[in-house]
Amino acid sequence: MKARHSALCVEEAEEVVKELRAALARAGISLPSLGLDPVSLAREAPCPLVELGRCSVETARRIAAAVVR
């Protein structure tokens, strides 16, 4: 049962990353290192975190502007 729960957590996290990537793309924003945090996946019962990664100052400004809208 724990393994199934972990698998569902990973599937959900992967889907959220896809949704976020698509939403950012619609706003003209790209985060190349957007993905699942590998350290959080390495746990016995993974409950992944989303890694947004680093970005340029310009990309950070675009994200800030998109969030304010």
DSSP assignment string, 19-66: HHHHHHHHTT---TT-EE-HHHHSSSS--PPEE-----HHHHHHHHHH
- pLDDT confidence of residue 69: 78
The model's pTM is: 0.83
- pLDDT confidence of residue 2: 65
Cα 9 to Cα 31: distance, rounded to the nearest angstrom: 22
- pLDDT confidence of residue 1: 60
- pLDDT confidence of residue 43: 82
pLDDT in tens, the chain (69 residues): 667 767 889 999 999 999 999 999 999 999 999 999 999 988 887 789 999 999 999 999 999 999 987
